[in-house]
Amino acid sequence: MNELLSGERVSEEDYRKKAEVNMVNLVREAQESKKKIILSAMVAALTIVAAFPLFLLSGILEMENWLRVLLIAIGLVVVCGGIVIACILVERQEHLNALIATQGLFRI
C-alpha cells in the first residue's frame, strides 16, 4: 500500500519511514479538505444572508418595477460575488498546498 501511495518501490529499511510520511500526508489532506468544506460553507452562508433579504423585499413590498429589478439585480451580484470568492479561496488553498508539497514544506 505504501508503494502505491508513494509511487515507488520501498525497501524494508525505508518502509516505516515512508509509512509514517504517507500517514502524515493523509491526515494533512483530510484536515485541509475539512477546512475547504468549512470555508465554502461560511461563504455560502454569508452570501445567502446577504442576498436573501434583497430577494424577499423585492417580492413582498409594493414598489415600482425599476426598484424591484434593481433589488433583484443587486441580489444576483451578491450571489455571483459569493461564488467567485468561494472559487478564489479554494483555488488559492489548492495552489498553496501544491506549493508546499513541491517544496517539501510542512504546514503547522
Give me the tens of pLDDT residue by residue for the chain, a chain 108 residues long. Answer: 555 555 666 666 677 777 777 778 778 888 877 888 888 888 889 999 999 999 999 999 999 999 999 999 999 999 999 999 888 887 877 776 676 666 554 444
Task: Specify the 3-state DSSP secondary structure of 29.
Answer: helix
How far the first Cα of the chain sits from its last, in Å, is 26
Closest CA to 107 of 35, 32, 40, 33: 32
Alpha helices in the chain (DSSP H): 2-6, 12-60, 65-103
| Cell 488559492, located at residue | 92
Closest CA to 73 of 48, 55, 93: 55
